[in-house]
Amino acid sequence: MPEDILMDIKRDYVLSRIRAGERIDGRNFDEFRKVEVKTGIIEKAEGSALVKLGNTQVVVGVKMQVGEPFPDTPNMGIIITNAELVPLASPTFEPGPPDENSIELARVVDRGIRESEAVDLEKLCIEEGEKVWIVFIDIHALDDDGNLMDASSIAAISALMNTTVPAERFGVGEDFKLPIRDFPISVTSLVVDDRILVDPCRDEMSVGKNLMTITSDEEGNVVAMQKSGSYLMAEEKFYELLDLSVAKAKEIRENVREQLKGGENGEDEES
């Protein structure tokens, strides 16, 4: 596979630059690529967001439906997260049922949102034990230039914040904004030799998918973690990652919050 040979060449290049204390795109080791967030891009969805993380692009759409609650949580709405790595987004993605990578992506994004209790699920109960809102979060990758994980989790929370519950359409009252009470942000890093590369791009991942994702909430608590990739991580490296990821999440959260605010103002001006 030509992709593999190219990757071998890139690997040597990436490694030599890292050993020289540099990243191939000139970023600092703890620097994210430029984050761009646009919400409300799909009118038919209850909420949506397009996130660009450098050249990586992801769309998340939120759709809602009325359904039955789970028996053990009769007064709570339901979140269902799904990810599709469509072949359009990368030469290595293939059509077909979700593979382990897309399942992992969806589950880690889901965990950040669920465990931070970002969506107030009790407010999504229509009739206890009978009817609740089901929130479908669908992650649609458009261009995988590395770190789909963080692009997807930023897109997911942004789309949720953009979501209006379509109560009128379902004949269960007036439409209302989806109640959001936290702002989880995931930070994924590549662990190479003794270095930590925050927000790795596709070419950097040619050295191996030695990834660690740490998601934290607004207060700086850790709400989800996932070591991903066949590698062994030194304990001290993990502690370093932990502090770094929580600090980075704060920075990204403020950046995204500003952009979301800007978007709303823009809409106001037009109307």
* 41 close to 59: Cβ distance less than 8 angstroms: yes
136 forms part of the interface with another protein (CB under 8 A): no
Which of 243, 254, 264, 267 binds another protein (CB under 8 A)? It is 243
Helix (H, G, I), strand (E, B) or coil at 232: coil
| Structure-token match 């949102």, residue found | 113
Shortest CB 129 distance to another protein, Å: 12
Give the H/E segment covering residue 52: strand 47-53
Give the CA distances from residue 247 to residues 20, 22, 154, 203, 250, in Å, rounded to whole numbers and listed in that order: 25, 21, 16, 25, 5
Cα torsion 236, 239, 241, 244: sign: negative
Give the residue with the Cβ less far from another protein, 30 or 115: 115
Give the residue with the Cβ less far from another protein, 162 or 210: 210
> Cα separation of 152 and 104, whole Å?
12
Give the binding range for another protein (CB under 8 A) out of 123-131, 150-158, 199-207, 238-246. Answer: 238-246
Parallel, antiparallel or unpaired: strands 131-143 and 78-84: parallel
Tell me phi and psi for residue 99, to 5 degrees.
Answer: -90, -175
257 Cβ neighbours under 8 A, 6+ residues apart: 183
Give the binding range for another protein (CB under 8 A) out of 28-36, 125-133, 173-181, 228-236. Answer: 228-236
Which of 24, 86, 172, 242 binds another protein (CB under 8 A)? It is 242
193 forms part of the interface with another protein (CB under 8 A): no
Give the residue with the Cβ less far from another protein, 86 or 244: 244
Give the binding range for another protein (CB under 8 A) out of 1-9, 26-34, 43-51, 232-240. Answer: 232-240
Which of 45, 58, 66, 106 binds another protein (CB under 8 A)? It is 106
* Chain residues in the site for another protein (CB under 8 A): 72, 98, 100, 103-104, 106-107, 111, 114-116, 212, 217, 220-235, 238-239, 242-243, 246
